[in-house]
Structure 1
């Protein structure tokens, strides 16, 4: 069963050893957790809805929970998680390693620096520029695809993230493989072997 944004939020506060957090900061940490988890697994971390808003990407259901508040408490997230009927999942060291890496890299930034970072993200920019109202829908798969294709992984984050469970192949690389009639380009094979060996 897939996690919910409330479970991820609760785990972010737990791993941060905090009882509360500014709402903008939590929204951005949830976004980066979703994105980097997607890059490493090719999967969505949770099934709730992203929107591009003035202060960056937000998850609608989490926004509804903290509407009108400047900070959100772990207790409030716990109650939403209970209402959402989240089930306690078995420990997942891979998931926790992703959250810990995201927190070590982005958790030291304040909410406004995090907002500014998300304003540089193409997935947010594209949605924000195409909006007709104060918000625009961001497809979760677009977030996963965007992070899969990023070639600018922050160095300190790259050193902390667990090994990827998937290898991204661009459309151009895929077409080269398809047209090679079973003879794969040597640089592609070397890159795959490099990922397996390291």
Structure 2
């Protein structure tokens, strides 16, 4: 997805889906959420090394919702309810805050951000397959919060991409992946209950 900022800089978030049976809900929510995250991260470059200004921008929910609406339309995705949308906005804020805390935003650091986002999206997809392979709903929900399994999958991709998360980023990543999985499970349950 091409990314545009006020000064017309462009960047692109590139991602290929996990090869197993990932649901359309997981793919679409992942596309929307991570493209919004990357777009907003790129926009934060405008503030240079002014961390305080970046944190203020990250907290502007209406700005996030504006970008979110654009990607919802692009990927043909609609949140099942306000709770799911608010959860997504919270994950985006947490992800951006976590990344900004770790270093000064530069074009080079942004490339690293794309790798971090790629790993998180891939972990979410791979974990979603594990969630749906569980037989009973309580087991599916339990898998959403399986910190050890999320960490194990994440560690495999860290090694593959030769990148290292800080302890704070690991914690935030586990929390956001768990929330992502719960929303996908809620969505599939909500959709099935309508028919």
TM above 0.5, yes or no, is no
Bigger relative contact order (CA 8 A; separation at least 6)? 1
Q: Which has the higher strand share?
A: 1
Q: Which has the higher helix share?
A: 2
Which entry has the higher C-alpha Rg, 1 or 2? 1
Q: TM-score scaled to structure 1, two decimals?
A: 0.28
